[in-house]
Amino acid sequence: MSTEHIRNFSIIAHIDHGKSTLADRILEITGTVSDRQMKDQLLDDMDIERERGITIKASAVTMNYEHAGKNYMLNLIDTPGHVDFHYEVSRALSACEGALLVVDATQGVQAQTVANAYLATSVGVELIGVINKVDLPSAQPEITAEEIEHVLGIKKQDCFRISAKTGLGVQELLDALVTLLPPPTDLSGEPTAALVFDSINDDYRGVICYVRVFAGGLTLRQKIRFMGAGRTYQVTELGKFSPKMSAVDRLGAGEVGYVIANIRQLSDVTIGDTITDDSNPAKRTLPGYVPPMQMVFSDFYPGNNTDYPKLRSAFEKLALNDASFSFVPQNSPALGFGFRCGFLGLLHMEIVQERLEREHNIDVVQTAPTVSYEVVTNDDNVKKIDSPSELPDLSHIKELREPFVRLEIITGTDSIGGIMKLAESRRCRLLKTDYLSQNRVMLEYRAPLAEIVYDFYDLLKGVSHGYATMDYEFTGFEAGDLVKINILVNKVPVDALSLIVHRSVAESRGRRMLVRLRKAIPRHQFEIPLQVAIGGKIIARESIKPFRKDVTAKLYGGDVTRKMKVLKRQKEGKKRMKSIGAVQIPQEAFMSILDNSD
Amino acid sequence: MNVEKSHCEQSGLYVHIPFCEAKCRYCGFYSEPVRNHNSARLVSAIITEFQMRIQTSFSPQTIYIGGGSPSCLPQEQLSRLVGEITSRWPKTDEFTIEVNPGQLNKTSLSQLRKMGVNRLSIGAQSFDNTELSFLGRRHSVENIQKAVDAAKKAGFQNIGLDLIFAIPGSTLASWEHNLMSAIDLGVQHVSTYALTYEEKTPLQKAVEAGEVKPVDEETDRLMYETAIEKLEKAGFRQYEISNFAKPGFECRHNLNYWANYPYIGVGPAAASFWNDNRTTNIAEINTYIEAIGKGESVIEESETPKPLQIACETAVLNLRRRCGIYIDEFQKQTGYEVLKLFAEPIDKYGELGLIEMTDGRLFLTREALPIADSILCDFSDV
């Protein structure tokens, strides 16, 4: 097929604005999926995605559509909808010429709508504005259209008003997609260049690469080369998702599909790499993607040290399906052997946690999530650290830099006050206030990532009664007056409980951490002193009083079986905690240090 | 363990009488009001269970009739039961009956003494009438004094009293008064139990409803420590977490439990540990009597713990004794080396000064007693 009849597009939207429903409707109208033979929201693959209502992995579906007597091939490339997955969105968008920007008419433009629209524009993707859920009584399509025009510069009269649920306006939208979005540039005569925009691991077929062919073409049994990795393979299968995998002999320029080529491990494939013909290679690689950037780190230790190999193999399996997740062995003086894991964001971390529990059934102790820092040592070396425990002695440090983000918050005007107060308490600096309409405003902040990564979103939802949305984008590292808070439990410093914070809040944070820990660590047989130290100086102490009485009064012949069961349960309870010397620390305690609430 | 071993060791016989005059407020055990039942039928059924279950070779060193309250059986039924037992097992070292104050007079006590009962365990609980009525006990302080007096006059020289402490509303002073009252009565044995709030009891419900406030942990502990102090000063020796005796008057029947030696329990809800089997009889009285009538087994639950489990049970039970675990004896009895099997908790609690070892014995220290469960749980499983 000539590229003239191909349209590659994405749907981008804030979570729950109807992206997956619209995708379903398009699949139906094009006859790709007949009478709902598949589950709702077809493109969401994994259980967790479906449960959380979000999409983790981008998927691609090829459809046929007839318009004005001509057959078109439509390739829908799905994108994740959450703030943590910027990187995956950028990968998917780069494989498209256009995108449908979906906004819920009952909610209006949200922070992720803006972030995704900026991202699309930055990779040169043409946008079509779509106002969804216009059938609902609470829909405000005109106000929404004004917001879209005001914030995103798409003219309000050009926005399509649809209901993905009922199908209203979707046919017209499809026609517009064909007429308004540009086709791929025809580079069929050039040497092969195909972009890998995603990859998954299949238990039976090995690694499957999602590709967009930009130039030349891919054919069965072709000897291909991954230009970045420098590896060569022979294509064993080519195909498209329709939406099931269906094999083809050739993927031509402008087309989207999959490649299987005896690739053993997901880690052998770099997302953003260019596939070319080994004997007739492209002159240069396609404009690359930014590699995934892990922003949040947390240590995982097996509850029981003998489970270390089990934990390693679980992480290996998780990494097979998730190229954005990383793990490296870690040895903590207090907690023993474990792994430092890197995540795109907190939600990504929670997803990995859940999969670890659900699919691998291992008791783990996890430390409080932290961001990474840049340390400039006295000899001007710059070193990145992903954990407070790696921080060198202060006397060796010239400068400590923390990550900053551009934070966008969209909210109703009535909660501005609360949000500004919250942002101020987290060292955020207001850059811009932009009224989207009479009642809604967009606030732009420069914010330290460490201050917003953990509980900020929940607090934001709290002060705005659930209405505010936020998105953020990493902008760079900047020096700050940062100090490390050390916690001593029973006089032993526990590295896994340390935290890097701004000096201005260090003392109050430290005291609060002690109060949290006193509540989270159960009473023991002896008194446990808790101390907090900043820069070697103890600034506060607390103690956990021992329990005074814990003994069964009567134990005679008839009580043995029951009593033994009770004692075993008591012992089991201890096992789920991590021993530091004679002190047992439960999982909640490690997380409690980040609890900043009163 | 095998049959021969059971024969050459100590063993005990327990008989359970699940009757009470009325249920106490704190009691979580199965028992029924005696007036609703035909006690003759129950005693007959128990005697039949002796015939059905117990081999002639069984020769217990100790016998214990407990409950409920055996003393609320009509005198002729209690005598029939005791007579049957002593004719089957004429030679026992210790024969105890649990007695509630106010339930047996001097004549009936004399009769029991003559038939071979040589130890009484009296459920005194408190020497404060307000506390007694709080607990739902039906006797008075005067009844206790009279019961001890009658027992002595009937010729009993081995009398034990049960006391409950940490009763809501009690104070350290009132507890000391209770202890001194018990000591002053000149008994040989005292058991002191902290009041426990068993599930589904009226007392537990009252706590949940906020009507009753349990004694705080610190006072509870002080009361326990006071008991040890006062009783030891009066010439009693603490030989188990809750038990104190004048030298030579330790309850041998209960020592048998803490040694994890075999015992057979007869009667509704009675538990046995025999041939490495732990079994429990049918609890409900009528179902029990019917099963006996049909010649069917009365065992409701049965479990055969593995040798390792038995070793753990033995360690937990032994450690409740002040003498603790006899290291050599433990190995002979269970086949396991205690120092290896429990190396981890022994090291840990040794360092914390909660466990000590001397003269081939491993035992909980004085400081460990009030928090024994937090230590014993690490011996409950390996």
Of A548, A567, A582, the CB nearest to B380: A567
> A3-180: which CATH number, 3.40.630.40, 3.40.50.300, 3.30.465.10, 2.40.50.140?
3.40.50.300
Contacts of A485 (CB under 8 A, 6+ apart): A498, A499, A500, A501, A506, A509, A510, A513, A532, A533, A534
Could you tell me if B4 lies within 8 Å of chain A, comparing CB atoms? no
Q: Report pLDDT digits (tens) over A516-539.
A: 999 999 999 999 999 999 988 999
Of A550, A555, A570, the CB nearest to B320: A555
pLDDT at residue A58, rounded to an integer: 41
pLDDT at residue A436, rounded to an integer: 87
Q: How would residue A576 be classed by pLDDT, with cut points 50, 70 and 90?
A: confident
Taking the domains of chain B in order of start, what are their residue ranges?
3-258, 321-379
Higher local confidence (pLDDT), A306 or A477: A477
Of B12, B254, B377, the CB nearest to A570: B377
Taking the domains of chain A in order of start, what are their residue ranges?
3-180, 193-277, 296-366, 374-480, 483-592
Residue of chain B nearest A558, judged by CA positions: B271
Q: Report pLDDT digits (tens) over B210-258.
A: 999 999 999 999 999 999 999 999 999 999 999 999 999 999 999 999 9
pLDDT at residue A265, rounded to an integer: 80
Of A554, A557, A567, the CB nearest to B242: A554
Q: How would residue A37 be classed by pLDDT, with cut points 50, 70 and 90?
A: low
Residue of chain B nearest A523, judged by CA positions: B374
Q: Report pLDDT digits (tens) over B80-91.
A: 999 999 999 998
Q: With contacts defined as CB-CB under 8 Å, which chain A residues touch B273? A: 557, 560
Interface of B with A in 115-154 (CB under 8 A): none
Higher local confidence (pLDDT), B25 or A598: B25
Prior bond of A243 cis (ω within 30°): yes
pLDDT at residue A41, rounded to an integer: 45
- Residue A396 phi/psi, 5-degree rounding, is -95, -5
In the three-class reduction of DSSP (H, G, I as helix; E, B as strand; rest coil), residue B158 is classed as coil
Of A548, A554, A557, the CB nearest to B370: A548
Residue of chain A nearest B271, judged by CA positions: A558
Tokens 């260019």 belong to residue: A274
Do residues B197 and B28 touch, judged by C-beta distance below 8 A? no
Residue of chain A nearest B221, judged by CA positions: A549
Query: A560–B271: do the CB atoms touch at under 8 Å?
Result: yes
Q: With contacts defined as CB-CB under 8 Å, which chain B residues touch A574? A: 377-378
pLDDT at residue A34, rounded to an integer: 64
Task: Report CA-CA distances (Å) from A413 to A104, A113, A358, A452.
Answer: 19, 18, 41, 21
- Residues A202-224 have a mean pLDDT of 91
Give the C-alpha separation, B25 to B203, whole Å. 6
Q: A565's torsion region: left (phi>0), alpha (psi -120 to 50) or beta?
A: alpha
Q: How would residue A260 be classed by pLDDT, with cut points 50, 70 and 90?
A: very high
Q: Report pLDDT digits (tens) over A360-390.
A: 888 888 888 999 999 999 999 999 998 888 8
pLDDT at residue A395, rounded to an integer: 85
Do residues B18 and B68 touch, judged by C-beta distance below 8 A? yes
In CATH terms, are A3-180 and A374-480 the same topology?
no
Higher local confidence (pLDDT), A596 or A571: A571
For residue A35, the tally of other CB atoms under 10 A from its CB is 6
Of the CA atoms within 13 Å of residue A532, those in its CB half-sphere come to 25
- Residues A562-588 have a mean pLDDT of 88
- Residues B151-157 have a mean pLDDT of 97
- Residue A425 phi/psi, 5-degree rounding, is -65, -15
Beta bridge partners of A342: A297, A326
Give the C-alpha separation, B228 to A429, whole Å. 66
Class of domain A193-277: mainly beta
Region of poorest pLDDT, from A54-68, A399-413, A457-471, B228-242: A54-68
Q: How would residue A59 be classed by pLDDT, with cut points 50, 70 and 90?
A: confident
Structure tokens of A512? Answer: 């609060």
Higher local confidence (pLDDT), B106 or A272: B106
Q: How would residue A246 be classed by pLDDT, with cut points 50, 70 and 90?
A: confident
> A483-592: which CATH number, 3.30.70.2570, 3.30.70.270, 3.90.550.10, 3.30.470.20?
3.30.70.2570
Average pLDDT, chain A: 88
Contacts of A67 (CB under 8 A, 6+ apart): A174, A175, A178, A179
Q: Report pLDDT digits (tens) over A91-141.
A: 788 899 999 999 999 999 988 888 888 888 888 899 999 999 999 999 999
Class of domain A374-480: alpha beta
Query: For strand A326-332 and strand A245-248, is the pairing parallel, antiparallel, or unpaired?
Result: unpaired
Could you tell me if B199 lies within 8 Å of chain A, comparing CB atoms? no
ipTM of the complex: 0.94
% of chain B residues with pLDDT over 90: 90
Residue A299, pLDDT > 50, answer yes
Interface of B with A in 333-372 (CB under 8 A): 348, 351-352, 354, 369-372
Of the CA atoms within 13 Å of residue A490, those in its CB half-sphere come to 17
pLDDT at residue A432, rounded to an integer: 94
Q: How many helices (H) and strands (E) does chain B have?
A: 16, 17
Residue A336, pLDDT > 50, answer yes
**CATH number for the domain formed by residue range(s) B3-258:** 3.20.20.70
pLDDT at residue A83, rounded to an integer: 58
Query: B313–A560: do the CB atoms touch at under 8 Å?
Result: yes
Buried b (16+ CB within 10 A) or exposed e, A397-426: eebbbbbbbbbbbbbeeebbebbbebbeeb
Could you tell me if A564 lies within 8 Å of chain B, comparing CB atoms? yes
Could you tell me if A548 lies within 8 Å of chain B, comparing CB atoms? yes
Do residues A276 and A228 touch, judged by C-beta distance below 8 A? no
Contacts of A208 (CB under 8 A, 6+ apart): A199, A200, A201, A202, A258, A259, A260
Task: Report CA-CA distances (Å) from A543 to A24, A537, A579.
Answer: 58, 18, 18
Strands (E), A480-546: 482-489, 492-493, 499-502, 528-534, 537-544
Higher local confidence (pLDDT), A452 or A290: A452
Strands (E), A266-369: 274-277, 296-302, 326-332, 336-343, 364-366
Do residues A195 and A272 touch, judged by C-beta distance below 8 A? yes
Higher local confidence (pLDDT), A8 or B1: A8
Q: How would residue A51 be classed by pLDDT, with cut points 50, 70 and 90?
A: very low
pLDDT at residue B4, rounded to an integer: 36
Q: Report pLDDT digits (tens) over B109-145.
A: 999 999 999 999 999 999 999 999 999 999 999 999 9
Query: For strand B159-165 and strand A245-248, is the pairing parallel, antiparallel, or unpaired?
Result: unpaired
Could you tell me if B14 lies within 8 Å of chain A, comparing CB atoms? yes
Q: Is residue A380 classed exposed, middle or buried when 0-12, 13-18 and 19+ CB atoms within 10 A define those classes?
A: exposed
Question: What distance lies between CA A519 and its chain's CA centroid?
Answer: 31
Q: Report pLDDT digits (tens) over A171-196.
A: 999 999 999 999 999 999 999 999 99
Query: B273–A563: do the CB atoms touch at under 8 Å?
Result: no
- Residues A201-206 have a mean pLDDT of 79
pLDDT at residue A56, rounded to an integer: 36
Query: For strand B32-33 and strand A528-534, is the pairing parallel, antiparallel, or unpaired?
Result: unpaired
% of chain A residues with pLDDT over 70: 93
Of B271, B372, B381, the CB nearest to A558: B271
pLDDT at residue B55, rounded to an integer: 83
Does the A296-366 domain belong in CATH 3.20.20.300? Answer: no
Could you tell me if A563 lies within 8 Å of chain B, comparing CB atoms? yes
- Residues B59-65 have a mean pLDDT of 96
Give the C-alpha separation, A373 to A530, whole Å. 27
Q: Report pLDDT digits (tens) over A313-324.
A: 999 888 876 777
Do residues A215 and A188 touch, judged by C-beta distance below 8 A? yes
Mark out the alpha helices in A96-226 (DSSP H runs): 111-122, 141-152, 170-180
Buried b (16+ CB within 10 A) or exposed e, A54-91: bbbbbbbbbbebebeeeebbbbbbbbbbbbbbbbbbbb
Give the helix/strand (H/E) hosting B207.
helix B202-208
DSSP code for A572: H
